[in-house]
Amino acid sequence: MPYTLQVKSGSQKVDIPLPVAGGDSLGGLKSHLAAKFALDKSKMNVLFKGRKLNGIAFPDDLPLGEAFGFKGDGSDGDTTLQLQVLGPKDPVLGALVDVEQQVSTAEEAIGRGEDFKSAGVDVVSLNEWSEKLDAITGLDDAARERRRSILKRIEALEEKMKN
């Protein structure tokens, strides 16, 4: 049975299966969490069992198994690890995540059968979301790909709205 991270940041709580997209190192996990929660990675703190996973004892290349004290494949015990992530929002990623959450909320409402108006979606809101995304600069490759994906989702909503 694989391990799962139960991660809390502010009021958000998500389950993340391991391994994460960034790989099996602490640095990869931190990058994944920074992107997921739109936090400034350089000022982010990851806490596990009351300890900060920062500093000389927890370098970015540290394997997750060593950082969390994994024993085997998790079949012999608890496979859910609880983490807390603290830090200031990254303003660039924060804007991206805000639009992404609005698009997700609209998609979920429409998926439940709500009409566009009751879902709070109109041509103006779709244009505003696109303009906000276009105004975001200074993105790395992963964030640019994420922005492209969100723009495609906005286009799909526009097409549904026309039909």
82-113 core/surface letters (b: 16 or more CB in 10 A; e: else)? ebebebebbebbebbbebbebbeebbebbeee
pLDDT of residue 3: 73
Q: Where in the chain is the domain with CATH 3.10.20.90?
A: 4-86
- The rounded percent of the chain whose pLDDT value lies above 90 is 12
pLDDT digits (tens, 9 = 90+) for 115-156: 888 888 888 889 999 999 999 888 888 788 989 999 999 999
Residues 6+ apart with CB under 8 A from 109: 118, 119, 120, 121
Peptide bond into 2 cis (omega under 30): no
Q: What is the CATH architecture of 4-86?
A: Roll (3.10)
Distance from C-alpha of 41 to C-alpha of 22, rounded to nearest angstrom: 14
3-state secondary structure of 108: helix
